[in-house]
Structure 1
Amino acid sequence: MAINALRTPEDRFSVLPAFSYQPNYVDDLDGYETLRMAYIDEGDKNAETTFLCLHGEPSWSYLYRKMIPVFTAAGHRVIAPDLYGFGRSDKPVDEETYTFEFHRNSLLRLVERLDLTNITLVCQDWGGILGLTLPMEMASRFTRLLVMNTGLPAGDGATEGFYRWRGFCASVPEIPVGGLIATDAGSAVNMLDVVAYDAPYPDNRYKAGVRRFPQLVPVDPDMPGIDLTTRARAFWSNEWQGQSFMAVGMKDAVLGEKSMEVLRSFIKGCPPPMKLEQAGHFVQEYGEEIAKQALIEFGL
């Protein structure tokens, strides 16, 4: 069945001086044939290691602009998709289309479609909530984890900051995407970055995903996705054999140090985190130093 979706005009992305990467598109993912997904594919296509960079809400792959060149300069391949509803990807209009499994399955299909192997999973926010459930389905494809300001909620509540954020998104007439990220990231972003974060959304009709995602985080009992995050906790605790690296934006009131210590307790062999005192939730805005340190820790 066709999904009613909007496609952001390409000219909205015409002024991206910090993000000159050409988008790639796939419109034949199994189960998503009526939708087009965008992704960045940079670096050596034959590289041994692929960094799969998953953004969260309300950002898009632009969030990784400071990390991508570090990985590619070291000889690695980088894949950075835009989730449906975000970035250059198609944006379903009906908020009910946005579900945990809808987005998780699309990422599984993308990994299969591109036949990615020796993956370093790089994730934050929803990129982690979804991404951390992927390796248990295809463990042989994933070898490393770089995780930032996210969690594996499984119906056991959340921080007060998260509940405030969820309530805000449910009540405001329109969520000011660029302004929110700028407020969080401070001097790490400029006005052109704000324009870039607003670019996917010509008007409020394009923001169904932005509005819906906070309501989907499985923090309350019986929410969809809890079975998957519960399984993922067990996988990372008991079965994960790869290398892990964690970075924390310490100014994050939603998924900061305390939340990340909880997550670290689920990740077998995860060392103490790299703490960025100046960074907030969108810690990738300080991503160059994170990426460099991760490569050192991984021996890459």
Structure 2
Amino acid sequence: MGKVHRTPDERFADIPDYPFDPRYHILEGGLRLHYVDEGPRDATPVLMMHGEPSWSFLYRKMIGPVVEAGYRVLAPDLIGFGKSDKPTAKSDYTYALHVAWMREWFEAMGLRNVVLACQDWGSLVGLRLVAAMPDRFAGVVLSNGGLPAGQDPPPAFAKWRSFSKYSPVFPIGGIIQRATTTKLSDAEVAAYDAPYDTRASKAGARIFPSLVPLGDNVAVPDQLEAWKVLEKFEGPFTCCFSDKDPITRGGEAAFVDRVAGAKDNPLHRKLSGGHFIQEDDPAGFVSAILDTAKRAGV
């Protein structure tokens, strides 16, 4: 591991609608992982996992309503994102490492009977956790994500991957805005930019699209093994993809056809919005989470 950047706390001083106390876990090797932990500690955990290039701020509209419904909500920042530490070399990021880091945190938290809510890279990491520890999860709610295993990249994704690698500028707040149908305020755009106060701090955000296991990729064998477990997962697995996301459109079909808990699940639904559905239809995503938890009996 090379140099590690830690975003100064003052960068987060004026974040709107994000009143959550910061909590930190030190991973083996010294990296500091940030997470939100709201609601009763003995309540059923709902794990909200963000994707790329966002952070737990993405779930700010959803955390409160789920806590108010009686659940404990945990929303970690992946290493390289948000308030978590950020290795500054792209070579320090691999898919396998991210799964290992999040599993280490998950096990340290002692989480069981979890309902996973995930989108984008939150699903690539989160669904691998489900496959590694299926007995720890009661249900899954998936929006605008997947568990790719060597397929050809969609044209829209291929363009995004190229942009992330080669564009001289990488305006993270602006990227989030372009992938939503909701007009974000200047303060909200700034909040997405806040974790990245140096060019090097964007290394993770820059490299993540290139790590997605589409085509010939080193992670494909691990993905295929994960699918074998996921196919047998019997907890309710709800797909709530959005209607205006060109990258993941139609991605729910793979899960509805293959995952045991998705096949006869009446809770699948379409949400209204773009890729970052947490901004465009947070109430719809919350409803899917609560319905899935109820179906799981938790």
| TM-score w.r.t. length of structure 1 | 0.93
Q: Does 1:208 align with 2:207?
A: no
> C-alpha displacement at 1:138, in angstroms?
1.5
Structure 1 residue aligned with 2:245, among 246, 252, 258?
252
Residue 268 of structure 1 corresponds to 260
Q: Deviations over 1:130-178 (max 9, x none)?
A: 1111122222211110111011111121211111111111110121110
Confirm or deny: 8 A CA contact 2:117 2:289 kept in the other structure: no
Residue 226 of structure 1 corresponds to 220
Unaligned runs of 5+ in 1: none
Aligned-pair Cα RMSD in Å: 1.5
Residue 59 of structure 1 corresponds to 54
* Aligned-partner residue type, residue 284 of structure 1: Q
Residue 6 of structure 1 corresponds to 5
Residue 17 of structure 2 corresponds to 18
Query: SS of the counterpart of 1:88?
Result: coil
* Aligned-partner residue type, residue 69 of structure 2: A
Residue 188 of structure 2 corresponds to 193
> C-alpha displacement at 1:293, in angstroms?
3.6
Residue 93 of structure 1 corresponds to 88
Residue 72 of structure 2 corresponds to 77
Q: Deviations over 1:80-105 (max 9, x none)?
A: 10011000000001110100111000
> C-alpha displacement at 1:297, in angstroms?
4.2
> C-alpha displacement at 1:265, in angstroms?
2.4
Confirm or deny: 8 A CA contact 2:141 2:288 kept in the other structure: no
Confirm or deny: 8 A CA contact 2:89 2:200 kept in the other structure: no
> C-alpha displacement at 1:282, in angstroms?
0.6
Instruction: Measure the CA separation in 1 of the matches of 2:221 and 2:78.
Output: 22
Instruction: Measure the CA separation in 1 of the matches of 2:179 and 2:131.
Output: 32
Residue 151 of structure 2 corresponds to 156
Residue 243 of structure 1 corresponds to 236
Instruction: Measure the CA separation in 2 of the matches of 1:122 and 1:3.
Output: 32
Q: How many residues align?
A: 291
Instruction: Measure the CA separation in 1 of the matches of 2:20 and 2:3.
Output: 28
Instruction: Measure the CA separation in 2 of the matches of 1:78 and 1:298.
Output: 13
Query: SS of the counterpart of 1:120?
Result: strand
Instruction: Measure the CA separation in 1 of the matches of 2:162 and 2:134.
Output: 36
Q: Does 1:283 align with 2:277?
A: yes
Counterparts of 1:27-46 in structure 2, within 5 Å, are 27=26, 29-30=27-28, 33-46=29-42
Report percent identity of matched pairs.
37
> C-alpha displacement at 1:232, in angstroms?
1.9
Unaligned runs of 5+ in 2: none
Confirm or deny: 8 A CA contact 2:238 2:288 kept in the other structure: no
Residue 176 of structure 1 corresponds to 171
Confirm or deny: 8 A CA contact 1:152 1:263 kept in the other structure: no
Query: SS of the counterpart of 2:75?
Result: strand
Instruction: Measure the CA separation in 1 of the matches of 2:219 and 2:140.
Output: 21
Query: SS of the counterpart of 2:19?
Result: coil
Change (3 A) 1:112 1:269: closer
Query: SS of the counterpart of 2:241?
Result: strand
Instruction: Measure the CA separation in 1 of the matches of 2:260 and 2:278.
Output: 24
